[in-house]
Amino acid sequence: MKMQKIANTDLEVSRIAYGCMNIGGNWEDQPLTGSIRKQAIATVQAALDLGINFFDHANIYCRGKSEEAFSGLWENSPALRQKIYLQTKCGIRLNADPDSDSPTRYDFSCGHILSSVEASLKRLKTDYLDVLLLHRPDPLVEPEEVARAFDDLNQSGKVRYFGVSNHTAAQLTLLKKYVRQPIIFNQVEFNLIHTQLLDEGIVFNQRNPRLTRDEDSLEYCRLHDIILQAWSPLAVGTLTGRKTGKSSDPLIKAIKQVSKMAREKGVPGEAILIAWILRHPAHIQPVIGTTNPERMWAACEGDKVELTREEWYRLFIAGRGEEIP
Least confident stretch, 171-180, 195-204, 286-295: 195-204
Whether 161 is catalytic = no
Among 159, 189, 219, the domain-final residue is 189
Q: Same domain, yes or no, for 255 and 119?
A: no
Read off the CATH number of the domain in which 132 is found. 3.20.20.100
Lowest mean pLDDT among 164-178, 199-213, 228-242, 281-295: 199-213
Picking from 126, 159, 189, the residue at the C-terminal end of a domain is 189
- pLDDT per position as a tens digit, 46-67: 999 999 999 999 999 999 999 9
What confidence score (pLDDT) does residue 202 get? 81
pLDDT in tens, 178-229: 999 999 999 999 999 999 899 888 876 666 666 556 578 999 999 999 999 9
Q: 150 and 243 in one domain?
A: no
Residues 137 and 20 in one domain: yes
- Give the per-residue pLDDT at 242: 57
Instruction: Determine the structural domain holding residue 124 and report its residue range.
Output: 1-189
Per-residue pLDDT at 110: 98
Q: Are residues 7 and 150 in the same domain?
A: yes
- Mean pLDDT, residues 81-104: 94
* SS3 annotation, 250-288: HHHHHHHHHHHHHHHHCCCHHHHHHHHHHCCCCCCEEEE
pLDDT band at 243 (very low <50, low <70, confident <90, very high): low
**Four-residue CA torsion sign, 96, 98, 100, 102:** negative
Q: Which residues pair with 93 in a beta bridge?
A: 105
pTM of the model: 0.95
pLDDT digits (tens, 9 = 90+) for 247-273: 558 899 899 999 999 999 999 999 999
The rounded distance, in Å, linking the Cα atoms of 262 and 258 is 6
The yes-or-no verdict on residue 162 having pLDDT over 60 is: yes
Residue 312, domain member (yes or no): yes
Residue ending a domain, choose from 189, 211, 226? 189
**What gap in Å lies between CA 260 and CA 239, rounded to an integer?**
12
Please identify which of the residues 18, 61, 85, 161 carries the catalytic annotation. 61
Look up residue 232 and give its amino acid.
Answer: S
Are residues 42 and 24 part of one domain?
yes
DSSP 8-state class, residue 103: P
pLDDT of residue 215: 73
Both 7 and 146 in one domain: the answer is yes
Classify residue 103 as exposed, middle or buried by CB count within 10 Å of its CB (0-12, 13-18, 19+): exposed
Same domain, 158 and 256: no
Asked whether residue 157 falls in the same domain as residue 255, the answer is no
Q: Tell me, yes or no, whether 158 and 78 share the same domain.
A: yes
CB-based contacts of 266, cutoff 8 Å, min separation 6: none
Range 293-297 average pLDDT: 97
pLDDT at residue 98, as a whole number: 87
The verdict on 247 and 113 lying in the same domain is no
SS (H, E, C) 176-197: HHHCCCCEEEEEEECECCECHH
Q: Are residues 2 and 136 in the same domain?
A: yes
* Mean pLDDT for all residues in the chain: 94
Residue 246, pLDDT above cutoff 60: no
Amino acid at 178: Y
Per-residue pLDDT at 244 exceeds 60: no
